[in-house]
Chains A and B, each alone.
Chain A
Amino acid sequence: MKKATQQTDQQRIYQEFAKKREPSPSIWKNCLKAFIFGGLICVIGQGLQNFFIYYFDFNEKTAGDPTVAVLIFIAVLLTGFGVYDKIAQFAGAGTAVPVTGFANAMASAAIDHRTEGYVLGVGGNMFKLAGPVIVFGTTAAFIIALIKTIWIQWGG
């Protein structure tokens, strides 16, 4: 409860009453499904990486780029065909955590706002869901880098 402190007694009693009767998602089952699906996506990724190393002129470091590009492409395609959200309902975090989840977040927002035009619709809303990841990812990276720099300066 977000505002538990501001709730009246009556509200608090009802919330406790309702909470007791609420069906909860089965955490273990969802964790297992997420583990299997998320792992499966990573296995596909690994397969792709090996494929690029074996058949093309990539090494272990550079093969990551085409691998990620292919995974993103597949995720966007599945989003466009309206399949990704159905897989996600089953797989949960398994499809959200890998790079495919990020691709889906961007593609779904872009598709959704296509009706409002390319500039204000697609352009303005594409990062609606993915934006916070980039903002806080960059911020976190900056802070960590700052700590690292100071650490080395003082420590070394």
Chain B
Amino acid sequence: MLQGSQSWKFLNEPVILSTGVVGGPFEAKGNLADDFDHLFSDIWLNESSFEKAQTRLMEEASYTALAKVNKKPEDMQFIFTGDLINQITTTSFACRTLSIPYFGLFGACSTSMEGLALASFVINYGGAEYVLTGTASHNAATERQFRYPVEYGFQNPPTAQWTVTGAGVAVVGKTGTGPVVTSATIGKVVDMGATDPYNMGAAMAPAAADTIEAHFTDFDVDPSYYDYIVTGDLGKVGLPLMKELLRQRGLMVTDEQCMDCGLLIYSNDQKEVQAGASGTGSSAVVVYGHLLERMKRQEIKKMLVVATGSLHSPLSYQQDETIPCIAHAVSVEMKGV
């Protein structure tokens, strides 16, 4: 049901039945290693290219999620997924293996929640019994496309972020037990004139604030409704900016209430990370791996997940374009018990 100007309320409450979360060796050294279903010890995953490795991540996460509910790919009616690599080929190749009717999405790092919002919408209105959604990213595949060659000696500034090698996938169904998706707010493209691709946090913060503000306006609730407002990959730089922007607009979020997936995944000892994690995998891995587990343990009742994406390309950056950003918010709640 349309709520306000850009939100959906899911009265039938689609359920996140299971999740599959996989990661790489760098993630294994992080804070959330225990929340992964499988951690690969080699960033190549025994494949011949980093792009193929990313495809493998997506496939492994999908099969893991399916196995947990004893389903096969053919039991899924649709899959909503995408990634960061040119023409989302790594995702399309994974879907060639999975052979599920496929919606390819591009929302950069907001893809995880774009997918969950659409999956929930389809389930809510009886468009499907079961839908798969999720996304993968690979550090080296992303680095070489967006930045410099993997082994190039470049000093990352303190605002730079580290792309997650990992995939998070969820099976969304009509009925069952698990956290439910209650609403979603679809974001607009927001461009506040950022030009530095080594400072994504500052570029994406206004998009996150815009979508969160729209969410609270559409549903006429205040931030205290949620235990947590979780952003995707704003990092050390973007998260404080977003909180300040929200407070300027009268949305009094507390510091304890705001979390960022990009700050949860790695430990402080991992100096390479700089300002935090990023990549489509960042929010997918943390939400589907860590946060939903916390919901199942009743530690979190209601959370608003706001995945943020920056919609630039190396080409647009070189042509002196600014960095347009987007954020999609999905409300996940743990009912009963």
Cβ-defined contact, B153 with A18, below 8 A: no
Chain B: CB-nearest residue to A24: B158
- Knowing A8-B193, A92-B155, say if A22 contacts B149 (CB, 8 Å): no
Cβ-defined contact, A88 with B154, below 8 A: yes
Nearest CB of A to B205, in Å: 7
Q: Which residues of A contact B241 (CB under 8 A)?
A: 17-18, 21
- Knowing A21-B240, A22-B199, say if A104 contacts B322 (CB, 8 Å): no
Residue-wise, chain B 150-175 has the 8 Å CB interface mask toward A (1 for contact) of 11111111110000000000000000
Nearest CB of B to A5, in Å: 11
Partner of A112, one of B150, B155, B322: B150
- B interface: dominant SS: loop
Give Cα distance in the complex from A113 to B156, angstroms: 22
B9 within 8 A of A: no
Cβ-defined contact, A84 with B148, below 8 A: no
Cβ-defined contact, A84 with B153, below 8 A: yes
Give Cα distance in the complex from A11 to B240, angstroms: 18
Cβ-defined contact, A15 with B193, below 8 A: yes
The residues in B between 202 and 243 inclusive whose CB is less than 8 angstroms from any CB of A are 202, 205-206, 236-237, 240-241
The size of the chain B interface, using a CB distance under 8 A, is: 35
Binding site for B on A (CB under 8 A): 1-3, 7-8, 10-12, 14-15, 17-18, 21-25, 30, 79-80, 82, 84-85, 87-89, 91-93, 95-96, 101, 104-105, 107-109, 111-113, 115, 128-129
Give Cα distance in the complex from A153 to B236, angstroms: 61
Nearest CB of A to B229, in Å: 19
B49 within 8 A of A: yes
B192 within 8 A of A: yes
B48 within 8 A of A: yes
Cβ-defined contact, B153 with A111, below 8 A: no
Give Cα distance in the complex from A8 to B191, angstroms: 10
The residues in B between 179 and 209 inclusive whose CB is less than 8 angstroms from any CB of A are 191-195, 199, 202, 205-206
CB within 8 Å: A-B pair count: 108
- Can you list 20 A-B contacts with CB-CB less than 8 angstroms, sorted by A residue number? A3-B320, A11-B191, A15-B193, A17-B244, A18-B194, A21-B241, A22-B199, A22-B237, A25-B155, A80-B151, A85-B150, A88-B152, A89-B153, A89-B155, A95-B153, A96-B154, A96-B155, A101-B153, A108-B150, A115-B48
Residue-wise, chain B 289-310 has the 8 Å CB interface mask toward A (1 for contact) of 0000000000000000000000
Q: Which residues of B contact A89 (CB under 8 A)?
A: 153-156, 272
B121 within 8 A of A: no
Extra inter-chain contacts (20) besides given A14-B192, A91-B155, CB under 8 Å: A3-B195, A3-B320, A3-B322, A8-B193, A21-B237, A21-B240, A21-B241, A22-B202, A23-B236, A25-B158, A79-B153, A84-B153, A93-B155, A95-B153, A96-B153, A96-B155, A104-B153, A115-B49, A128-B149, A129-B149
- Knowing A101-B153, A115-B50, say if A23 contacts B191 (CB, 8 Å): no
B249 within 8 A of A: no
Cβ-defined contact, B150 with A18, below 8 A: no
Cβ-defined contact, A14 with B151, below 8 A: no
Cβ-defined contact, A109 with B149, below 8 A: yes
Give Cα distance in the complex from A91 to B240, angstroms: 29
Q: Which residues of A contact B149 (CB under 8 A)?
A: 108-109, 111-113, 128-129
Give Cα distance in the complex from A85 to B202, angstroms: 26
Cβ-defined contact, B156 with A23, below 8 A: no
Give Cα distance in the complex from A74 to B135, angstroms: 39
Q: Which residues of A contact B96 (CB under 8 A)?
A: none
Give Cα distance in the complex from A104 to B244, angstroms: 42
Cβ-defined contact, B206 with A14, below 8 A: yes
Give Cα distance in the complex from A77 to B48, angstroms: 21
Nearest CB of A to B40, in Å: 17
Q: Which residues of B contact A14 (CB under 8 A)?
A: 192-193, 206
Cβ-defined contact, A129 with B202, below 8 A: no
Q: Looking at A80, A84, A112, which has the most chain B CB atoms within 10 Å of its CB? A: A112
Nearest CB of A to B263, in Å: 14
Give Cα distance in the complex from A2 to B241, angstroms: 22
Give Cα distance in the complex from A92 to B199, angstroms: 18
Chain B: CB-nearest residue to A111: B151
Cβ-defined contact, B205 with A18, below 8 A: yes
Give Cα distance in the complex from A141 to B241, angstroms: 47
Nearest CB of B to A78, in Å: 9
Q: Which residues of B contact A3 (CB under 8 A)?
A: 193, 195, 320, 322
Nearest CB of A to B196, in Å: 9
